[in-house]
Chains A and B, each alone.
Chain A
Amino acid sequence: MKYLTEFRNGEIAQRMAREIHAIATRPWKIMEVCGGQTHSIIKNGIDQMLPAGIEMIHGPGCPVCVTPLELIDKALAIAAQPGVIFCSFGDMLRVPGTEGDLFQVKGAGGDVRVVYSPLDAVELAAKNPDKQVVFFGVGFETTAPANAMSVHVAKRRGLKNFSLLVSHVLVPPAIAAILESPGNQVQGFLLAGHVCSVMGYWEYPPLAEKYKVPLVVTGFEPLDLLDGIRRAVVQLEAGRHEVENAYERIVKYEGNQAAQKLLTEVFEVTDRAWRGIGVIPKSGWRLSAGYREFDAEERFHITGIHTQESALCRAGDVLRGAIKPAECAAFGKECTPRHPLGATMVSSEGACAAYFNYGRFLSAEELAGAGTGLTHG
């Protein structure tokens, strides 16, 4: 497990945390954009290692969480149709739509399958010419190249029975929207490392300049996160606002240019609704004219969707960083991973699920008092 254990070294982590304590003279609010980072922070207890004044605000970068309810409902409707094989990544299956989730559709006889790559879905389409195979293509820039490749391959192979139900979202417009939102408190950002591995970070200097915020490209392991936080605090303390790369072993300034070229060919920028947040202009991708024939929304013409969110769920406030999960009245009561009211309680990248799964339903005192009482021997 080289390349992993070395980024999870407890002693080095403690040393880096002490360094952050030494640098920080004032309180700062820093948002980690990506849900994978939220998961790692909570799982490893990184937030417990920081000075009291350094607050991590959990960002909207959970693809499952921000996929609009209307699209989930469309997915449920398409998946329930006879003659359809509906393929999805695993964690979309439990996301609640207005009525039920994909697991329930599967239980009722729908052919819903978990795949690990959209190209597996293309293969299914080739093997099942009498079926319509639909892949649920959601996510940020990270998953976009594989989804783009699936329609690219389907077109090249002349497959008429493959389509993509697509709702891609983009990080830079979301950051701008958060910074422009009234009452915003975020002063610095940890940029999503894997998004930047695809896109590079050439898109971000204008944001740093316009909003005067430091933006640090950051990875996902404990030491990556502590390094990203440290660099953000150093900039904030010095009054600087630059784009910095703390994930150099993966991310290059220009990113993966072959992937970007494919994305430009297959997708075009569009306005997107973000679940819990609302429509953000030019914040997503849809299939471009040359690939529109593979758009599942056009192929299936699902109409009559009437969405209704849970009245109790405050996932939107959580995704904007306005509240912490445990501040929602339904958290751990009406809303648990077993009975999620909102998508943030479903995915392991969702902030609510991360808080619930790692015991953040306990008060800080309870958890501290819990202790493991273990002695190394």
Chain B
Amino acid sequence: MAENGKAGSPDFSNWSCPLPLAGYPTIVMGHGGGGKLGNELVENLFLPAFRNPALENLGDAAVLELAGGRLAMSTDSFVVQPLFFPGGSIGELAVNGTVNDLAVSGAVPKFLSASFILEEGFPLAQLAAIVEAMAKAAATAGVQIVTGDTKVVERGHGDGCYINTAGIGQLRAGIAVGPHRAQPGDAILVSGTIGDHGMAIMSVREGLEFESQIRSDCAALNGLIGEVLEAAGGAVHTMRDPTRGGLASTLNEIAQASGVGIAIDEAWLPVRQEVQSACELLGLDPVYVANEGKAVFFVAPEAAEQVLAVLRSHPLGREAARIGQVTAQHPRMLVARTAMGANRVIPIQIGEQLPRIC
């Protein structure tokens, strides 16, 4: 566990917090009060980390310029515990989560907002590490954080740090994707191994710590998705990022939205050995475990090999695999062929998976 703890902890060694820490090493109610302390937080932390022309105006709203065309907008709130985990932190999640929601909608993500709800007493050094992670993630994804807000709640009324991000992207011309567009015959591809993020979080969650090498797959997918759409945009019918509820929930949602059946083969699912072992131990099924850096593609069968090749040539898609196909049979249901050659229905879960007694 000791090693994991290190892997999951923020690396403060190269980070010097620009805030004058002498007076307040932790968040106090005044940081959310709109006065001097709040301004210091903006001037000394958020602005240096996220700096861009739209943000620098510090107006009530960011004023943005976008060429004509259709826009996509998305928002997501992040309440993950623990805040730092092997492979990332709530900071990367908050940026990549919204970037990915825009990307799988066929948009090029451009601008993000970032709102923080901080608990009184939250260490400023941790906030700085989170902000730094967001800045790096935004730079990697090629998006700008152009507006934001900070509120502080009394001790005991929050869980350290909650973040909401909203994002705007420009829809690509000639792309028509959506959860309702899957068609019988479509090949189903996943961009890499499933269940990594959820099990990385589990491995450091209080009361459940176990030793493992599992790291979150948290990553921005807009680059990977952009390459797929440029190579074979017309052949892609549906894209989703299978986050909460995992691959099974995403596939069930698509089966219902499109009114089609989905058939996958359990033997074809890419699952890391460590993830499979940890799931066995806890009585969980990796198809229901969250991902934060994976996308599922439904593509016309004739383009499947081409898309697979594009995915595998990208650093985030090396372990991409074809996992099944869309069928006109068993509409609105996800059916898996088991290793034994039998078929089983994979239903939508009710709430979270519950660990078994024995």
Contact = CB atoms under 8 A, between A and B. Distances in A.
Interface residues of A, number: 54
Contact of B329 (A139, A338, A370): A370
A36 B358 contact: yes
A373 B330 CA distance: 11
Contact of A10 (B208, B340, B350): B340
B340 A49 contact: yes
A366 B280 CA distance: 30
A89 B356 contact: yes
Contacts of B343: 45, 359, 367, 370-372
Contact of B355 (A45, A90, A358): A90
A21 interface: no
B355 A372 contact: no
Given A10-B339, A222-B339, A374 B325 contact: yes
B354 A43 contact: no
Interface in A269-311: none
B339 A44 contact: yes
B264 A372 contact: yes
Contacts of B280: 1, 4
Contacts of A230: none
B345 A373 contact: no
Contacts of A116: 207-208, 282, 355
A43 B263 contact: no
A92 B356 CA distance: 9
Contacts of A227: none
Chain B interface residue number, banded: 35 or more
Most buried by B among A113, A338, A359, A373: A373
A114 B344 CA distance: 29
B354 A91 contact: yes
B321 to A, nearest CB: 12
Interface string A111-133: 00111100010000000000000
A89 B283 CA distance: 12
Nearest to A223: B340
B338 interface: yes
Contacts of B355: 89-91, 114, 116
B277 A1 contact: yes
A91 B355 CA distance: 6
Contacts of B207: 113-116, 120
A331 to B, nearest CB: 14
A81 interface: no
Contacts of A91: 354-357
Interface in B333-351: 333, 335-345, 347, 350
A42 B263 CA distance: 18
Contacts of A10: 267, 339-341
Most buried by B among A356, A367, A372: A372
B273 interface: yes
B354 A372 contact: no
B261 interface: yes
Nearest to A192: B358
A372 to B, nearest CB: 4
Contacts of B265: 372, 374, 376
Given A4-B280, A372-B264, A374-B324, A347 B339 contact: no
A93 interface: yes
B252 interface: no
B167 to A, nearest CB: 32
B81 interface: no
B303 to A, nearest CB: 15
Contacts of B256: none
Contacts of B147: none
Interface of A: 1, 4, 8-10, 13-14, 36, 42-46, 48-49, 63-64, 89-94, 113-116, 120, 138-140, 142-143, 194, 222, 337-338, 347-349, 356-359, 362, 366-367, 369-374, 376
Given A48-B342, A356-B347, 14 more contacts: A4-B276, A36-B356, A44-B344, A45-B338, A64-B357, A89-B355, A91-B354, A116-B208, A143-B357, A222-B340, A348-B356, A359-B345, A366-B330, A373-B329
